[in-house]
């Protein structure tokens, strides 16, 4: 008997493992406290993972495969991966062990250690999901001073011949980002998001609660938008192509108090647990564009392709290139505590209250809310990146460390000193006002730096630049803002910093 391990984010129904049924192979899957407890996760995230895992196990069984599955409340469950494997191997009198390469460094190390200890022949094989190997990005940037995502993205476009005319990009440009920065002002109408036909999620939540797992956020079956099998994930993608793609690119950076999803696809969970393959996703979106050019412009599609083909693969390659040191980087030496309102949404700042409430209600926020609202404030408040990582990894259902860590510690918090981002992604209230309607109904004035009604982002922004000027002065992209900082009269800067210190000393009062 060969034991084959499937981890919770390895639910690829098209993997070559499953092309034929072999009664001498048993697939094993475990719901474990090891995975629920290493950070505090959103309840919808735990429900989504366990629900998708259970449906995948049923799918394999329906095809004739042998499956051994330990549920979270199974008395046989040891809740540690190595202990469960030891028990399973003994139970089945296994002669060999195989697993798919994990996408998280900690699990990769845990399984390597297990394989060294076990006397069984063991091997690891590829998940057959990503469009690059673990080390492809490292080879691509070998010998180069910086790792600019745009160059890797162009390499991927050429490699996979996506939106290309020979060696040239379709439409004459590689990037249509300048067309993707529009504020949504109520039109065009936003269709309702796709609602997967999930089953037994309420029952699963009850089991999780009874198991004593500590979670965050709220659960409402009516707002649960995560697909739990390949068919649902595919239907969600179909819905995006038919109803949302037409305006996706134009408003992909927009934010609005009354809209959670806007024109976003919401397929990130399905992608990250491998219910969908990224190349299939890209090809379907490009095909939808080619079939509907009278409605869908190239800018809508390129923005989507850049996220999946470029950014997603870039993040994964960077993660494996830089780990394990990446996880402890803190280039800006930030050590403040992340405000309590990240777990409650209770703050007078409307942009943060709205974005955090969306996150706690839905285990979801789109990339600009994550980067320029919650991430922006965490960086401006000089919060410890360890705390920021734990929050992002826990609150979002699509957050798995390989994609969360470089996005948070790198892109959002600049804790890697510029490996991912060419400058810190910080802004005052003006950017938030430009891209959203948050400021219109906020108690704070986004134009003011000082005073009781001044937007906290403004004073924190200039205080951040002043506090970090020595660390940032060699960054050419920060030159203009640092020069503007020098022009602020000393008394005014002192007042700005006094306002910032008041916020930093008690952020939950703002």
Spans of all domains in the chain: 2-125, 136-198+221-320, 340-509
The Cα–Cα gap between 22 and 52 comes to 23
Mean per-residue pLDDT, 238-260: 95
pLDDT tens-digit readout, 5-24:
999 999 999 999 999 999 99
User: Pairing relation of β-strands 96-100 and 122-125?
Assistant: parallel
Looking at residue 263, its pLDDT comes to: 96
Residue 372 has pLDDT above 80, yes or no: yes
Mean per-residue pLDDT, 19-33: 97
Looking at residue 121, its pLDDT comes to: 95
Q: What does each C-alpha distance from 90 to 93, 109, 119 come to in angstroms?
A: 5, 22, 12
Confidence tier at 87 by pLDDT (50, 70, 90): very high
Transcribe 59-113 into DSSP letters.
HHHHTT-EEEEE-TT-TT--SSHHHHHHHHHHHHT-SEEEEEPPSSHHHHHHHHH
Higher pLDDT, residue 177 or 41: 41
| Beta-ladder partners of 125 | 100
- Give the chain's end-to-end CA distance (angstroms, integer): 61
Residue 105 has pLDDT above 80, yes or no: yes
Confidence tier at 181 by pLDDT (50, 70, 90): confident
| pTM score of the predicted model | 0.96
The Cα–Cα gap between 422 and 218 comes to 36
The Cα–Cα gap between 318 and 307 comes to 15
Looking at residue 335, its pLDDT comes to: 98
Choose the CATH number for 136-198+221-320 among 3.30.70.2470, 1.25.40.80, 1.10.20.10, 3.20.20.370.
1.25.40.80
SS3 letters across 293-321: CCCCCHHHHHHHHHHHHHHHHHHHHHHHH
Neighbours of 119 (CB within 10 A): 6
Class of domain 2-125: alpha beta
The Cα–Cα gap between 438 and 350 comes to 6
Q: What is the average pLDDT value for the chain, to the nearest integer?
A: 96
Lowest mean pLDDT among 160-169, 191-200, 417-426, 458-467: 191-200
Question: Which has the closest alpha carbon to 7: 135, 127, 132?
Answer: 127
Choose the CATH number for 340-509 among 3.90.1150.10, 1.10.579.10, 1.20.1250.20, 3.40.50.720.
1.10.579.10
């Amino acid at each position: 008997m060969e034991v084959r391990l499937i981890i919770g984010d390895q639910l690829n129904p098209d993997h070559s493992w499953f092309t034929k049924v072999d009664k001498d192979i048993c697939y094993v899957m475990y719901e474990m406290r090891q995975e629920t407890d290493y950070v505090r996760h959103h309840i919808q995230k735990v429900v989504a993972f366990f629900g998708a895992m259970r449906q995948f196990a049923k799918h394999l069984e329906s095809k004739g495969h042998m499956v051994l599955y330990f549920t979270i409340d199974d008395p046989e469950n040891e809740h540690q991966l190595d202990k469960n494997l030891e028990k399973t191997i003994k139970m089945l009198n296994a002669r060999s062990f195989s697993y798919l390469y994990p996408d998280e460094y900690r699990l990769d190390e845990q399984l390597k250690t297990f394989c060294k200890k076990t006397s069984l022949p063991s091997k690891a094989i590829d998940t057959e999901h990503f469009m690059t190997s673990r080390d492809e990005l490292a080879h691509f940037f070998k010998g180069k001073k910086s790792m600019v995502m745009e160059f890797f993205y162009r390499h991927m476009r050429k490699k996979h011949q996506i939106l290309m005319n020979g060696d040239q990009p379709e439409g004459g440009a590689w990037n249509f980002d300048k067309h993707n920065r529009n504020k949504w002002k109520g039109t065009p109408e936003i269709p309702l998001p796709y609602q997967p036909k999930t089953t037994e999620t309420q029952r699963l939540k009850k089991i999780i609660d009874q198991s004593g797992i500590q979670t965050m956020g709220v659960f409402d079956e009516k707002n649960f938008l995560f697909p739990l099998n390949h068919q649902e994930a595919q239907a969600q993608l179909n819905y995006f192509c038919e109803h949302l793609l037409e305006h996706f690119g134009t408003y992909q950076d927009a934010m609005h108090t009354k809209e959670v999803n806007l024109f976003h696809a919401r397929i990130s969970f399905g992608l990250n647990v491998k219910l969908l393959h990224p190349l299939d996703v890209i090809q379907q979106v490009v095909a939808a564009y080619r079939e509907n050019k009278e409605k869908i412009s190239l800018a809508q599609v390129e923005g989507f392709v850049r996220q999946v083909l470029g950014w997603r693969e870039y993040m994964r390659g960077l993660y494996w290139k830089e780990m394990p040191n990446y996880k402890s980087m803190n280039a800006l030496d930030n050590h403040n505590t992340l405000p309590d309102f990240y777990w409650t949404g209770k703050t007078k700042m409307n942009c943060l209250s709205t974005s955090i409430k969306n996150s706690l209600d839905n285990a979801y926020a789109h990339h600009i809310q994550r980067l320029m609202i919650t991430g922006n404030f965490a960086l401006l408040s000089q919060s410890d990146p360890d705390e920021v990582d734990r929050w992002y990894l826990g609150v979002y259902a699509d957050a798995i460390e390989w994609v969360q860590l470089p996005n948070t510690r790198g892109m959002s918090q600049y804790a890697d000193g510029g490996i991912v981002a060419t400058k810190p992604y910080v802004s005052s209230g003006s950017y938030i006002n430009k891209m959203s309607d948050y400021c219109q109904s906020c108690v704070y004035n986004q134009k003011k730096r000082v005073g009781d009604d001044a937007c906290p982002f403004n004073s924190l922004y200039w205080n951040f630049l002043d506090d970090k000027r020595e660390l940032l002065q060699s960054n050419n992209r920060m030159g203009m803002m640092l020069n503007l900082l020098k022009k602020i009269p000393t008394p005014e800067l002192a007042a700005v910093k006094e306002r910032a210190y008041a916020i930093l000393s008690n952020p939950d009062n703002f």
